[in-house]
Amino acid sequence: MARFRDTESESRAVNALGQRIARLIEAQGPLSVAQFMTIALHDPQGGYYATRDPFGAPKNDKGGDFITAPEISQMFGELLGLWIVQCWHDQGKPLARLVELGPGRGTLMADALRAARLMPEFLSRVEVVMVEISPALTAIQKETLKDSGAAIRWTTQIEDALDGRAIFLLANEFFDALPIRQFVKTERGWCERMVVLDENGALTFALSPEPSALAIARSGAPLGGFYESAQASTALAEQIGGAIAQNGGAALIVDYGYGAEAGFGETLQAVGDHKFASVLETPGDVDLSAHVDFAALAEAAQSGGAVACGPVGQGELLEKLGIVARGERLIERNPSAMHDITRAVERLILPGGMGTLFKALAIVPPGSPKPPGF
């Protein structure tokens, strides 16, 4: 068998899932980064999302490893809900399906549905579909949404949500967790980064001995530069674009990533207990994610026949949707919460928080009105 060059070797105490991955590599050979991510995040017995609730602020009663925008403030979900309602109204109030991918605790959907009550006709004409593969999170979502008053069903397959009706879809911090492949520029070409075993049997990264046949569209990469290919993400974006082009609707994708300015750096990261962690040391115990290539998602959605708008910064979108005025109204109703509300708004919209690192992409049918905020 060809020898793989070790690129990150260190002594590690491997957990149970890591031991199983090591045995898989011994039996079948090296894993791509995409294969490793899929196992680490979604293995039914030890995968990160399959076994736990990862959401929560540091040192609070919820615990968790990270916090997302809907958990920071109700305003985020409310504004995204009103965005959906406006797009639905602009497209003639069709019989529709409201879909969320990777709904977390259900907080975003709960806030969106509460805001949507401003137009009761919307709730009477939509079926809510939550696409979730984690049994643990599904149980939490059902508890969160039990009093929403909406017709809600759960599915593990997005195909179950995209047929027949106009699709209005939300995906917040979903695409960053889809698997990626990594390639490194070497003197012999672009070589795929793989997960192998070092001489002590620990998981480590290594480069394939032969260059990949994958065509890299971007030029100017230095030796040692990374190219990350998110084939699962672009395939899904094309699928969503095709459904919206055919049936109508709109999708709003919010995540951290980059637009046209993609470089050649590595973005794969692990987070646990609100701190960066080793990607390989304890698979299944930490979250894995990578920056989203929004330009690639936009191109894929357009290949599906839809129109892509953006990306724009999360801060720019939320400001255009009225988050500052919404925060002021909440402070008027509850002056004692002024500090917390102000901090939440700043965290969501300012460059030092989530305002520019996080971006938003809208997908709409050809000929439809331009969506709010874009």
Q: How confident is the model at residue 99 (pLDDT cuts 50, 70, 90)?
A: very high
Answer whether CATH 3.40.50.12710 is correct for domain 28-364.
Answer: yes
39 Cα distance to chain centroid: 17
The closest alpha carbon to 182, from 275, 298, 293, belongs to 293
**Dihedral, 15, 18, 24, 26 alpha carbons, nearest 10:** -90
Residue 227 has pLDDT above 60, yes or no: yes
**Residue 61: what pLDDT?**
44
Among 212, 254, 242, CA closest to 229: 212
Among the ranges 108-122, 248-262, 265-279, which has the highest mean pLDDT value?
Answer: 108-122
Secondary structure (H, E, C), 226-289: EEEECHHHHHHHHHHHHHHHHHCEEEEEEEEEECCCCCCCCCCEEEECCEEECCCCCCCCCEEE
DSSP code for 337: G
- Tell me the mean pLDDT in the region 209-229: 88
Q: How far apart are alpha carbons 26 and 17 in whole angstroms?
A: 14
Residue 18's pLDDT is what? 93
Distance between CA 361 and CA 358 in Å, rounded?
A: 10
On whether the CB atoms of residues 286 and 270 are closer than 8 A, the answer is yes
Which stretches of 64-172 are assigned E, i.e. beta strand? Answer: 96-101, 126-131, 152-155, 166-172
Which residue has better confidence, 213 or 300? 300
Q: How far apart are CA 283 and CA 39, in angstroms?
A: 8
| 370, pLDDT greater than 60 | yes
Q: Strand, coil or helix: what is 158?
A: helix
Say what the pLDDT of residue 27 is: 96
335 phi/psi in degrees, rounded to 5: -55, -30
Share above pLDDT 90 across residues of the chain, in percent, rounded to a whole number: 79
Give the per-residue pLDDT at 198. 93
Identify the pLDDT of residue 168: 98
Other residues' Cβ atoms within 10 Å of the Cβ of residue 104 = 23
| Whole-angstrom distance, CA of residue 158 vs CA of residue 46 | 23
* Per-residue pLDDT band at 64 (split at 50, 70, 90): low
Most trustworthy range by pLDDT among 10-14, 241-245, 283-287: 241-245
Q: Rounded to an integer, what distance in angstroms lies between the CA atom of residue 107 and that of residue 118?
A: 18
Q: How confident is the model at residue 3 (pLDDT cuts 50, 70, 90)?
A: very low
pLDDT in tens, 186-215: 999 999 999 999 999 999 999 999 999 877
Distances (CA, A) of 332 to 1, 213, 305, 328: 69, 60, 45, 6
Say whether the peptide bond before residue 58 is cis (omega within 30 degrees of 0). no
pLDDT band at 66; cut points 50, 70, 90:
low
Q: How confident is the model at residue 235 (pLDDT cuts 50, 70, 90)?
A: very high
pLDDT band with cut points at 50, 70 and 90 for residue 273: confident
Pick the range with the lowest mean pLDDT from 63-67, 248-252, 306-310.
63-67
Q: What are the residue boundaries of the structural domains of the chain, listed by start?
A: 28-364
- 124: helix, coil or strand? helix
Q: Residue 11's pLDDT is what?
A: 40
**Do the Cβ atoms of 365 and 244 come closer than 8 Å?**
yes
pLDDT band at 266 (very low <50, low <70, confident <90, very high): very high
Query: Residue 14: how many CB atoms within 10 A of its CB?
Result: 17
Asked if residue 176 lies in contact with residue 292, where contact means CB atoms within 8 angstroms, the answer is yes
What is the reported pLDDT for 53?
A: 66
Alpha carbon distances (Å) from 198 to 248, 281, 367: 51, 13, 55
> What is the residue-wise DSSP string for 96-118?
EEEEEES-TTSHHHHHHHHHHTT
Which amino acid is it at 307? V
Q: Round the CA-based radius of gyration of the chain to a whole number and report it.
A: 21
**What's the pLDDT tens digit per position in 155-170?**
999 999 998 899 999 9
**Which helix (H) or strand (E) covers residue 343, if one does?**
helix 338-349
DSSP 8-state class, residue 159:
G
As given in the structure block, the two tokens for residue 283 are: 């698979």
Work out the mean pLDDT of the chain and round it to a whole number.
90
What CA–CA distance (Å, rounded) separates 342 from 42?
37
Res 1: pLDDT: 34
Residues recorded for the chain: 374
What stretch of H or E contains 324? helix 323-333
Both tokens of 135, joined, read 């049994």
